[in-house]
Amino acid sequence: MQSDKALAIVEKQLKKPRYEHTVRVMETSIKLAEKYGADVKKAETAAIFHDYAKYRPLEEMQRWIEKEQLPKDLLQYHHELWHGPVGALMIEREVGIRDPDVLHAITVHTTGCAGMSVLDKVVFLADYIEPGRAFPGVDEVRKVSEDDLDKACWMASRNTINMLVSLHRKVYPDTFHAYNDLLNPNGGNA
Ligand code: DGI
Ligand code: FE
Ligand code: FE
């Protein structure tokens, strides 16, 4: 799909600041995809649609999780975790995007997971480092993103886990799986 058409579709689903975030995630994803050898068009499409479901009513997302083939354990975790997996299914049904690589990158963009593809990592990292983000420690991750994709993703997941733990929030298992996997991509028991 042409990027202007895709952007027009998501613009209708999002509030203005979230749409502007989406454009920055798209630009950052394209740069990271070029640098690390992911499919640039897939990165662009996944980035454009990554927050598609962000403002859907919680009851609607809950119904999708209950009725569709989505992990039921999501209901035991914060609703912030729902928009990735639910959004991927929604864009498949509502927009007709079927590319499994794109849908997977959208599914895991909030938590990461073990065994992420380069495309998954590009979108996950772009969402974290896009120029509008001001998380504590984000500048260090931006610097590392210039030459080490795995390390930068690991730092992003480490920072998120630290933040969640400090706020006494639950951590979704895939968030830990991403952290563990990226800590030592070649195996090992550190
Ligand atoms: O949708 P965005 O705001 O662009 O970014 P996102 O999809 O990465 O969502 C970020 C939020 O998700 C942030 O507040 C941290 C939260 N988050 C990420 N992993 C977990 C989590 N929240 C909980 N409770 N558990 C997690 O494992
Ligand atoms: Fe998101
Ligand atoms: Fe986002």
Give, as residue ranges, everything with CB less than 5 Å from ion ligand 3.
51, 127
**Of all protein residues, whose CA lies closest to atom 11 belonging to ligand 1?**
80
> Does residue 165 surpass a pLDDT of 80?
yes
Band (190; pLDDT cuts 50, 70, 90): confident
pTM score of the predicted model: 0.97
Counted residue by residue, the chain has a size of 190
User: Kindly report the CA angle at 155 between 154 and 156, in degrees rounded to 5?
Assistant: 90
pLDDT tens string 114-160: 999 999 999 999 999 999 999 999 999 999 999 999 999 999 999 99
What is the pLDDT averaged over residues 170-189? 90
Please state, in angstroms and rounded to a whole number, the distance separating the CA atoms of residues 118 and 32: 10
What pLDDT is attached to residue 188?
Answer: 72
Domain 3-133 coded CATH 3.30.465.10: no
Does residue 107's CB lie within 6 angstroms of at least one atom of ligand 1? no
Q: What is the pLDDT of residues 13-56, one digit of tens each?
A: 999 999 999 999 999 999 999 999 999 999 999 999 999 999 99
* Band of residue 78 on the pLDDT scale cut at 50, 70, 90: very high
